[in-house]
Amino acid sequence: MNAEFRLPDLGEGLTEAEMVQWMVKPGDTVMLNQTLAEVETAKAVVELPSPYAGTVTSLHAEAGETIAVGAPLIAFDVDGEESGSAEPDSSDAEEKAQPNLVGYGAAPASSGRPARRARRGAAAASGSTVADAAVREAAPHDALPPTVAEPTVGERPRSTPPVRAHAKRRGVDLVLVAAEVGDRVITRSDVDAYADRVGAPASETASPSEAASAPATPRRPSGDRAQTRIPVKGVRKHTAQAMVKSAFSAPHVTTFHTVDVTATMELIEQFRADKSLAEHRIGPLVVIAKAVCLALSRNPSLNATWDEPAGEIIENHFVDLGIAAATDRGLIVPIIRDAESLSLTGMADALQQLTQTARSGKTGPADLSGGTFSITNIGVFGIDAGTPILPPGQSGILAVGAVRRQPWEYRGEIALRQMMTLSVSFDHRLVDGAEGSRFLKDVADILEQPGRAMLF
- The residues annotated as belonging to the active site are 428
Using DSSP bridges, classify how beta strands 252-260 and 396-400 pair: parallel, antiparallel or unpaired.
unpaired
Residues 303 and 296 sit within 8 Å (Cβ to Cβ): yes
Give Cβ neighbours of residue 19 (< 8 Å, ≥ 6 apart): 37, 39, 61, 62, 63, 64, 65, 66, 67
Q: CA nearest 162: which of 198, 197, 186, 193?
A: 186
Kindly report the CA angle at 18 between 34 and 397, in degrees rounded to 5?
A: 110
**R_g of the chain, CA atoms, integer Å:** 25
Closest-CA residue to 32 (of 108, 127, 89): 108
Q: Could you tell me the CA-to-CA distances from 46 to 11, 53, 103, 205, 239 in Å, in that order?
A: 11, 20, 8, 23, 18
CA–CA gap between residue 21 and residue 24 (Å, rounded): 9
Per the DSSP assignment, residues forming a β-bridge with 54 are: 30
Indicate the SS3 state at residue 105: coil
Residue 336: count of CB within 10 angstroms of its CB: 23
| Per-residue burial over 357-390, b = 16 or more CB atoms within 10 Å of its CB, e = otherwise | bbbebebbbebbbebbbbbbbbbeeeebbbebbb
Buried b (16+ CB within 10 A) or exposed e, 50-77: bbbbbbbbebbbebeebbeeeeebbbbb
Which residues, in sequence order, are bridge partners of residue 323? 375
Q: What element of type H or E holds 390?
A: none
Query: Of all helices (H) and strands (E), which one includes residue 124?
Result: none
The β-bridge relationship of strands 54-59 and 72-77 is: antiparallel
* DSSP state, residue 141: G
| Cα–Cα nearest to 427, from 372, 377, 384 | 372
**C-alpha–C-alpha distance, residues 237 and 241, integer Å:** 6
d(CA 37, CA 74): 10
CB contact at 8 A, 175 and 144 = no
Give the containing element (helix H, strand E) for 108: none
State how beta strands 321-323 and 373-377 pair: parallel
